A and B are shown apart, each in its own frame.
Chain A
Amino acid sequence: MSEVFATADAREVLTAVGVGSCLIIALYDPRLRIGALAHAVLPVRNGAAGGGKHDTRYIDEAIDEMLEQLAALGSRGGLEAKIVGGANMFPGLKEDIGSENISRARRKLNATGIPIVGESVGGAIGRSVEFSLNTGSVTVKIKF
């Protein structure tokens, strides 16, 4: 949780296991076959950012961190996004963190001009994710 990982190694498969209200964001550069995966917990930080470093627990900052890491690996745009998770595991609770995470990611990705080309979001289910850097495919495992 709260992690961002970018790689230029097309043999890599990035994973996240047992995802609930958190949001997994996969960014892929199909031209260079490089990508990044974020496992963000909350939509946005309350209060001021500290020290200029991204707090990757938050959607906005996790996406900014991914873009910086991908730029450092040579990406110059043309990215595609896939998002997974954002569930509401305890539907009786008033605050739906999962939905807020999904909305925030959609807004942020839209603002940065990155299209969402696939998603598996919402509901009250856990998901596991595998992101293949070779093909850019994201496989979602759901258990009932």
Chain B
Amino acid sequence: MNLATFLSINAPAAAAASEALAKLTRRSASVKLLNAKLLSSMGDHPPFDREEIVSGVYLPITGGLPGAALLCFQEEKVSPLIEMLRKTKVENPSRLTELEESALKELGNIICGNYVTALSNALRVRILPGVPHFTRAMFGSMLEEVVARLPPDARGAVLVDVEIDLPSEAMLGYLLLCFEPERLIDV
């Protein structure tokens, strides 16, 4: 994997994601995509402890470079994020409503979708993000399911820091991307 390629798409992907988020929330919004670390596997140097409860949005990636994207946020940061997206208070953060989950899925769509589009443009390969799926669980357990759905030889992963400006603070999330290595070499 070429790290420079991933670093170069952070800015255009973040700009497009910020614009889409501003449209959704009808206020100025800022999404920053920072750094890009290459991991030898998706479970290598994870951003969270395997037992830590996190909220995650998973999107399968299809097309010329099949793989997976997993966007994760720390549990305690999710309520302010949903409140920014929906402009209504989250009553029970450990039992989100369908609409609250849907808001996070839409955020996953925006961030992962724009990242994959920027990657697609940079590599000149057609890559398509799939339908987003939400879960709130131990980080390790959601990572397992994503890895199980990848081809056996899909080992390398890219970890991107995601920073979203909320009214009171900036919140940090993580975007994990994994692709079939043989296809990546072909690219």
Partners in one complex: yes
Contact B148 A128 (CB under 8 A): no
Size bracket, chain B contacts: 20 to 34
Contact B141 A87 (CB under 8 A): yes
Q: CB-CB < 8 A to A143: which residues of B?
A: 51, 53, 138
Q: CB-CB < 8 A to B43: which residues of A?
A: 1
Q: CB-CB < 8 A to B51: which residues of A?
A: 17-18, 126, 128, 141, 143
- Which residue of chain B has the shortest Cβ distance to A20 in the bound complex? B141
Q: CB-CB < 8 A to A17: which residues of B?
A: 50-51, 140
Task: Give Cα A41 to B53, complex, Å.
Answer: 21
A residues 109-126 in Cβ contact with B at 8 Å: 124-126
Of the candidates B53, B94, B145, B152, the one whose C-beta lies within 8 Å of that of A20 is B145
- Which residue of chain B has the shortest Cβ distance to A88 in the bound complex? B145
Contact A20 B133 (CB under 8 A): no
- New contact pairs (18) apart from A18-B51, A92-B133, A92-B134, CB-CB < 8 Å: A1-B43, A1-B147, A18-B141, A19-B140, A20-B141, A20-B145, A21-B148, A41-B144, A89-B137, A89-B145, A90-B133, A90-B142, A90-B145, A98-B145, A124-B135, A125-B137, A126-B51, A143-B51
